[in-house]
Amino acid sequence: MKKHSIIISALLISILGLSQGIRFEHGSWKEVLEKARQTNKPIFLNVHQSWSVPCKRMNNEVFPLAEVGNVYNANFICYQLDAEKGEGMEIAKKYNIKMYPTYLFINGNEKSFFNSVGTMETKNFIALSTSAFFAMNDTIPITVWEKEYLEKKNDTTFLLAYINKRSRLSLPVATLFDEYLKLTPEEERTSDPVLGVYKKVVHSLNEHSFAVEYLLKNKAKFIGKHNNSFNDYLYQTAKQTMWNDVRSKSKNEELLALAVEAYDQLPKNTVRAQRDEIYIDYYFLTRETNQYLKYATHFCDNYLMKLSTDSIDKTDQLFVKTLDKQFLNSVTYSEDISKGMEEAISRSQHMTRDRIGDKLNSFAWEVFKRVSDTDTLKSALRWSGRSLELLINNPCRLDTYANLLYKLGQKEEAITKEEEALRFAAEKDLKGFTETLLKMKAGEKTWSENIEPIGSDVIWIR
């Protein structure tokens, strides 16, 4: 029952305020810019990818919340674009976006004055808006700060302000933080203020920085002063530093081990991911296909595939029941809000099903693209089939299943499944599914022999 209550709490957070969250504009980018100029309000632009798990997490768990909507709707023109479609491709190229989700804060003249990336807790995402406004109203250009730095590089007060300035502009701060930490007395390096700076600059850290070396060498001191809460930060830092190193073409198995060690120390009710997923993320980023598939296979076969439909449905049902009891029956809402809540609950009847099915489908698709081994392909077919059991008639999952069948030599059944995918496909997918179907009928390969190793210049921020 305790496990159910933890899951329900997470689901509860994700659904509350769905009718009151961020209201994204539906017009064109040109129309959004014009509205920003007319209202003299800055734009909050969420650039995402439809298949990205981190992007889905923010869309499902943070953007719909009332407290988030209250801040962002009041202060920004809110808009979102898919980086792989239409205007989104142009925007991603224009602003050199490499990580998803990316949050851009832009004025009516299309100048980006602040940006950030990745999934984050609600309070941190709300705080992001304050940082954006500070950056927008900061009249001192970065060039002035850079000149002043040459004169005040030994002044910790200035360094801290300069770190904050560069962090708001998403500029590197690792070297500056190293300088700041070296100037800080030893007895203060594990203090709350310093740990606060650590948390602020985590996206810039790398394994060779003095700050990371000091953190790892003095883990016991930090834990002794900050208790188990430090392990959560250590876990996030180890993961983020791994990502930063991978982007700079470096790998560090010690950081991987540290992330796992910190994960194992986390209170179980704070854990969102499974242990295997740490390895999966790491080997995805380091492009080590065999290791990635090893842990993905273990994760699917020993966790995802063992979740029964009854247990999944009970989690969703218990969530809806709890929501109804705690909120719908105890608070009097306006007619519009009540209607929105009912619609939100209806859309979330199978939230757990969708999340698990998406993961199974994603892993199965990676196997299809990169593996020729029959046994591994058969395992992926089982995962794909299970994802379809959890959500029937889903065109993308049908397409994955059809491609796996085809690669296994089951041509006729593959064609039947791909035709099903076409029947349920959205307009944007019709061309791709049609091309796949024609290749199957012609006996041609539907996959490339020259696929890059797992991982890419596009980094998933979790």
- Specify the pLDDT at position 15: 47
- Four-point Cα dihedral 162, 166, 172, 176, nearest 10: 10
Neighbour tally for 303: CB within 10 Å: 15
Q: What is the dihedral of CA 287, 428, 61, 269, to 10 degrees?
A: -40
Q: Do domains 2-136 and 304-338+345-460 have the same CATH topology?
A: no
Q: How many helices (H) and strands (E) does the chain have?
A: 23, 6
Torsion of CA 451, 442, 395, 406, to 10 degrees: -60
How long, in residues, is the chain? 462
Residues 6 or more apart in contact with residue 340 via CB below 8 angstroms? 18, 19, 20
Residue recorded with tokens 């979740």: 307
Look at residue 462 in the predicted model and tell me its pLDDT: 29
Q: Can you give the pLDDT at residue 10? A: 46
The Cα–Cα gap between 123 and 269 comes to 19
HSE toward the beta carbon, residue 158, CA cutoff 13 A: 13
User: Which among 124, 41, 120, 53 is positioned nearest to 79, based on CA atoms?
Assistant: 41
- Indicate the CATH number for domain 304-338+345-460: 1.25.40
What does the block give as tokens for 244? 């930063």
Check residue 433 and give its pLDDT: 93
- Closest Cα partner for 212 from 251, 246, 178? 178
42 preceded by a cis bond (ω within 30 of 0) = no
- Give SS3 for 460: strand
In degrees and rounded to multiples of 5, residue 112 shows phi and psi of -85, 120
Give strand pairing partners of 47.
Answer: 81, 102
How far, in Å, CA of 384 to CA of 401, rounded? 6
For residues 436 and 446, the answer to whether their CB atoms sit within 8 Å is yes
If phi over 0 gives left and psi between -120 and 50 gives alpha, with beta otherwise, what is residue 22?
A: beta
Pairwise CA distance, residues 203 & 58, whole Å: 18
Q: What is the pLDDT along the chain (462 residues), one digit of tens a residue?
A: 444 444 444 444 444 444 468 999 988 999 999 999 999 999 999 999 887 778 888 888 889 888 888 889 989 999 999 998 889 999 988 888 877 899 999 999 898 888 888 888 888 888 888 878 877 877 787 778 889 999 999 999 999 989 888 876 667 788 999 999 999 999 999 888 888 888 778 777 776 789 888 887 888 888 777 776 676 666 667 666 666 665 555 676 777 787 787 777 766 665 567 889 888 888 887 778 899 999 999 999 999 999 999 988 887 787 677 666 655 554 444 454 455 555 555 656 777 888 899 899 999 999 999 899 999 999 999 999 999 999 888 999 999 999 999 999 999 999 999 999 999 988 878 899 999 999 999 999 998 766 655 554 333 332
- For the chain, the structural domain boundaries read 2-136, 142-272, 304-338+345-460
Q: Rounded to 5 degrees, what are φ and ψ at 197?
A: -70, -40
Position 404 scores a pLDDT of: 97
Q: Is the pTM of this model over 0.75?
A: no
Q: What pLDDT, on the 0 to 100 scale, is given for residue 406? A: 97
Query: Facing residues of 112 across strands?
Result: 106
Rounded to whole angstroms, the maximal C-alpha distance in the chain is 74
Nearest alpha carbon to residue 391 among 429, 421, 350, 427: 350
- Looking at residue 274, what is its pLDDT? 85
What confidence score (pLDDT) does residue 123 get? Answer: 83
- Amino acid 258: pLDDT: 75
User: What per-residue confidence (pLDDT) applies to 84?
Assistant: 86
Q: What is the pLDDT of residue 460?
A: 35
CATH architecture for residues 2-136 = 3-Layer(aba) Sandwich (3.40)
Residue 25, C-beta contacts closer than 8 angstroms, at least 6 positions apart: 31, 32, 35, 77, 78, 79
Place of tokens 């208790």: 227
CA 238 to CA 215: how far, in whole Å? 10
Whole-number Å distance between alpha carbons of 65 and 53: 18
Chain-centroid distance of CA 359 in Å reads 13
Number of Cβ atoms within 10 Å of the Cβ of 79: 25
Identify the pLDDT of residue 312.
Answer: 85
Query: What is the torsion angle, in degrees rounded to the nearest 10, for the CA atoms of residue 288, residue 291, residue 294 and residue 296?
Result: -50
- Mutual orientation of helices 351-370 and 289-302 as an angle, nearest 10°? 140
* Alpha carbons 294 and 57: distance in angstroms, whole number: 25
CA dihedral 13, 19, 20, 25 (to 10 degrees): 120
Query: What are 165's two structure tokens?
Result: 């300035």
Cα(18)–Cα(65) distance, rounded to whole angstroms? 6
